[in-house]
């Protein structure tokens, strides 16, 4: 009996508590309503604007319908200029990558000396010069694998002089290397899929099933089709020719969705029949992108380049189109010598 009496007492206490809470909630609602009414009374303009927005929203027959946006006419926004053949291409709109007075020395040896370089958006810009001219050093400075001893480097008008390579790659500047860098014991598709994982939040979730990687297969196949390797997706990378490995490396680089693509001697080690295929591939992937090319094959340089910068002993010797720089006496001397015995 005592227990039943205690239980009834606790039940009555709980009911009174709930009733009191409901009363308090009613008072809060009344106060909020009064407060809102007072705010609307003091802000007639806000009420009229809100009513206008609501009426205009109701005018749409389908909620959630996609609205088209007019392309921006402001330079530098709303997409890049359309690429054309470099012989008839319109002038580029802006400088996307720039060095200002950049120098790099190694224990007193000056590899790059006071180089000021401008690379225009949407162009193919080649760096050429004899061996030891400083091309690869400048290339490594642009991609942040080296820090300059002096000067500054700017990308999209931002100072990136002290930026780390990985952060620069995420910002849209990607590079290839002289020696092909692929995972030989993995398939061609898996190589590209690894590069695509960077953009997904689950890339480090080691506990997830491998099946989640299948979500990337379609995008990987598209990239392989772009470089002409879709028929080799199930092959090991080790089974590709050297030209095929170059194409695969290019596909993994494109997986980063770069705005600027830097290629370090892409024709090095290629057979003669592969050079024309890789040249056509570079021209194709350059559409809508800026490409910086270090290359010794002058036939390829002449075929691809919109702008050429000639380096000698770490300094800029000449700049311009291929026809312009190839006729400069100092450039001929740098490559061929003076002829004096």
Quick one: DSSP state of residue 93? S
**Helix (H, G, I), strand (E, B), or coil: what is residue 171?**
helix
Asked if 232 and 221 touch (Cβ cutoff 8 Å), the reply is: no
What confidence score (pLDDT) does residue 201 get? 55
Same domain, 148 and 38: no
Q: Which domain holds residue 39?
A: 2-47
- Residue 74 covered by a domain: no
What confidence score (pLDDT) does residue 27 get? 60
- Residue 76 covered by a domain: no
What confidence score (pLDDT) does residue 178 get? 74
Same domain, 38 and 130: no
Close Cβ partners of 125 (under 8 Å, ≥ 6 residues apart): 119, 290, 291, 292, 293, 305, 306, 307, 308, 309
Assign residue 226 the CATH number of its domain: 3.40.50.300
What confidence score (pLDDT) does residue 45 get? 45
Count CB neighbours of 37 within 10 A: 10
What confidence score (pLDDT) does residue 78 get? 31
Tell me whether residue 168 is exposed, middle or buried, using C-beta atoms within 10 angstroms of its C-beta: 0 to 12, 13 to 18, 19 or more: buried
- Residue 192 covered by a domain: yes
- Residue 307 covered by a domain: yes
Asked if 240 and 232 touch (Cβ cutoff 8 Å), the reply is: yes
**What is the distance between the alpha carbons of residues 62 and 84, in angstroms, rounded to a whole number?**
41
- Structural domains counted in the chain: 2
Same domain, 39 and 170: no
What confidence score (pLDDT) does residue 69 get? 34
Close Cβ partners of 241 (under 8 Å, ≥ 6 residues apart): 271, 274
Same domain, 226 and 319: yes
Same domain, 273 and 187: yes
Q: Which stretches of the chain score pLDDT less than 50?
A: 36, 39-40, 43-88, 90, 341
Same domain, 156 and 254: yes
What confidence score (pLDDT) does residue 327 get? 87
Same domain, 30 and 173: no
Same domain, 40 and 124: no
How distant, in Å, are the alpha carbons of 24, 108, 136, 253 from that of 317? 83, 22, 16, 31
- Residue 167 covered by a domain: yes
Same domain, 300 and 170: yes
- Residue 80 covered by a domain: no
Element (H, E) at 97: strand 95-106
What confidence score (pLDDT) does residue 211 get? 64
**pLDDT tens sequence across 33-49:** 555 455 445 544 443 44
What confidence score (pLDDT) does residue 205 get? 59
pTM over 0.75: no
What confidence score (pLDDT) does residue 8 get? 66
- Residue 278 covered by a domain: yes
- Residue 131 covered by a domain: yes
Same domain, 152 and 43: no
Same domain, 174 and 30: no
């Amino acid at each position: 009996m005592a227990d039943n009496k205690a239980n009834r007492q606790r039940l009555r206490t709980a009911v009174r508590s709930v009733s009191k809470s409901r009363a308090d909630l009613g008072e809060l609602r009344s106060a909020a309503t009064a407060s809102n009414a007072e705010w609307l009374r003091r802000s007639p303009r806000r009420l009229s604007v809100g009513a206008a927005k609501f009426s205009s929203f109701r005018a749409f027959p389908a909620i959630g319908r996609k609205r088209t946006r007019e392309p921006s006419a402001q330079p530098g926004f709303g997409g890049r200029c359309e690429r054309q053949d470099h012989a008839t291409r319109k002038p580029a709109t802006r400088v996307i990558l720039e060095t200002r007075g950049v120098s790099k020395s190694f224990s007193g040896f000056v590899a790059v000396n006071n180089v000021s370089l401008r690379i225009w958006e949407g162009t193919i810009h080649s760096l050429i010069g004899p061996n030891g001219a400083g091309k690869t050093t400048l290339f490594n400075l642009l991609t942040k694998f080296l820090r300059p001893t002096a000067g500054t480097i700017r990308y999209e008008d931002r100072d990136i002089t002290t930026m780390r390579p990985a952060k620069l790659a995420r910002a849209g500047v990607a590079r290839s290397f002289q020696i092909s860098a692929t995972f030989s014991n993995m398939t061609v598709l898996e190589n590209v899929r690894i590069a695509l994982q960077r953009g997904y939040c689950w890339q480090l979730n080691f506990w997830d099933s491998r099946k989640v990687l299948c979500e990337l297969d379609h995008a990987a196949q598209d990239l392989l089709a772009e470089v002409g390797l879709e028929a080799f997706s199930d092959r090991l990378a080790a089974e590709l020719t050297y030209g095929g490995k170059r194409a695969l490396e290019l596909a993994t680089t494109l997986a980063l969705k770069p705005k600027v693509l830097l290629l370090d001697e892409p024709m090095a080690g290629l057979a003669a029949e592969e050079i024309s295929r890789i040249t056509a591939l570079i021209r194709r992937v350059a559409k809508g992108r800026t490409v910086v090319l270090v290359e010794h094959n002058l036939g390829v340089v002449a075929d691809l380049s919109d702008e050429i910068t000639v380096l000698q002993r770490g300094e800029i010797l000449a700049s311009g189109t291929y026809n312009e720089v190839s006729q400069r006496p100092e450039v001929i001397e740098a490559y061929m010598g003076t002829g004096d015995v």
